[in-house]
Structure 1
Amino acid sequence: MKKRRIILFLLIAFIFSGVFAQKIEWKEKAKLPQPMRGAAVSCNNNIYFMEAHSKVSGVYEYNVVEDTWKKTTNMITRGWNVSLVEINGLIYVIGGAGGARGPLDRLEAYNPLSNKWNVLTPMPTGRQHNTSCVVNDKIYVMGGITKSSTTNKVVKTDKNEVYNPKSNSWQTLSPLPMPCESSIISAVGNNIYVLCGDVLWKYDTLSDTWETKKNCPVWISILLGSTIINDKIIFPGGQNKDEKAVSSVYIYNTTNDTWIKSTNLPKPIQIGGIATLNSKIYMIGGNDTDFNKYDTVYEGTLVE
């Protein structure tokens, strides 16, 4: 009996120590100029938010030190659900939804220092409802929604394509294990982790091979990015299987293939900008289940 109590005590201590180690402290920062949804990325020690809008898609710069926002320009191609990555001081805008135009094959680069845009070689497969990531200065785009060449309707895709900025060219790689509508991809080292609902895969960029990892405890979709701190992938908010915006935050530890539920966001948020800067998590704008837009900005600190 005594032995059982000791084991139970150790188990409880282990669980609670894990929860504490994964705690996130959320703090509200300067609001967006107006309620918006969209995507975000860090670049040159600032954060850039690109508005999801069918008429005018604005670009906004957040100065973390001064806690201030300013509008810089508009995107070349209007749309929403775009994917953003940064390489060597340039922000790459990938894909997205174009309304009647369907999923976009757009690839455009924005230089924040010169405030100028450049149109690059389009993706082989236009898509939306996906995220992108960077490994060894190459952009990987996986899954999402594309358009059927036979029915002209949107369909899920298993496409895995990589862009090389040096040659301004695309290459098709080994496809996902199955088509994925709202893929959330995150790079850690030479590996890419792809969350599709509650299914997690690891893609080895060096061998072009796939491996199944431990499933997420819940279904997560409609999340325009993730954050990575100390080899841990953080998924804040998003949408559940019932198509409801959620406030829950889950963390996947790539070193031991484990999941843990962390501190909730202050409110349910989907389609918000997600970025990482100086080991801080930023959740910007977004909307609730009924698509009422937010102007709130939250900064999260991972407490070890």
Structure 2
Amino acid sequence: FPSGVASSVGDSQVTVPWVADTRVLFYRTDILAEAGIDAPPTTWDQLRKDAKVLAGRGEGQYGYYIPQWDSPLPLEITWSYGGDVVDGDGNIDFDTEAFNAAADTYLGLYADGSVPVNGDFDQTQGFISGITPMLMSGPYLAGGIASAAPELEGKWDITTIPAGVEGEATSLFAGSNLGVWFNTDQKTASLDLLEYLSSVEAQLSWYSINGELPALSAALEDDSLTSDKLVAIYTEQLASSKSLPLVANWDGGTGADLLAALNVIALTGADKDSTLQAFFDATKGAPTN
């Protein structure tokens, strides 16, 4: 996957992919059916409509879950609307039509009363209980659901994330890479280990142990995985996924500022236009690697 080999300095590749991770849409088939929704949403507009219907089931019920700590989510919506937050010169620029559309969708879910507002909401329990019957998460959640609520077998499913009006369903590419320190005195042994861990055999074995997806296409094409419906969806989504912008300290800097702006609008009623403009001005022009 192209995003898995984006860790380069100049023309030099400095690490190799180890495991891959992406996000898909989890949904409760039983609850959606009871609400008259016969298929999962394929666009963000449809997700918002469906979430509002599901939130109408009664007090304390919602349609979707937005983690208030999840800075990649607004980017995933932006990508799915066919845009980006990095301009043609490789610098950060959130002040785009696609991001503004994504912000409208994100904030609209709050305005509709379709998502919980408490910051400590537990996504797994919310999904199992049915309080939030739709959410985006990674493959690890499937194991958590199966382990904590085996009685829900056949009552939930996954699909690729929604697309924008003219975009595509572009999710987050995450995971882990492997590298060797330049000053190690065990270079040969380290490279041997790296080569082994990068093999199809090792990646399949690792997946069987803890469920982390292989980063190698050849491993994902192995018969032991192609027969797994969930893995097929993960693989489809990985083919349409992107990494976060390579800015210095995303979590503590740009990503934190993004969440602060959106959360203060959604949770306290701060003025949307002025809050977002201040965020645009504060982050515009930050370089990416």
TM norm structure 2: 0.24
Which of the two has greater strand per residue?
1
TM norm structure 1: 0.23
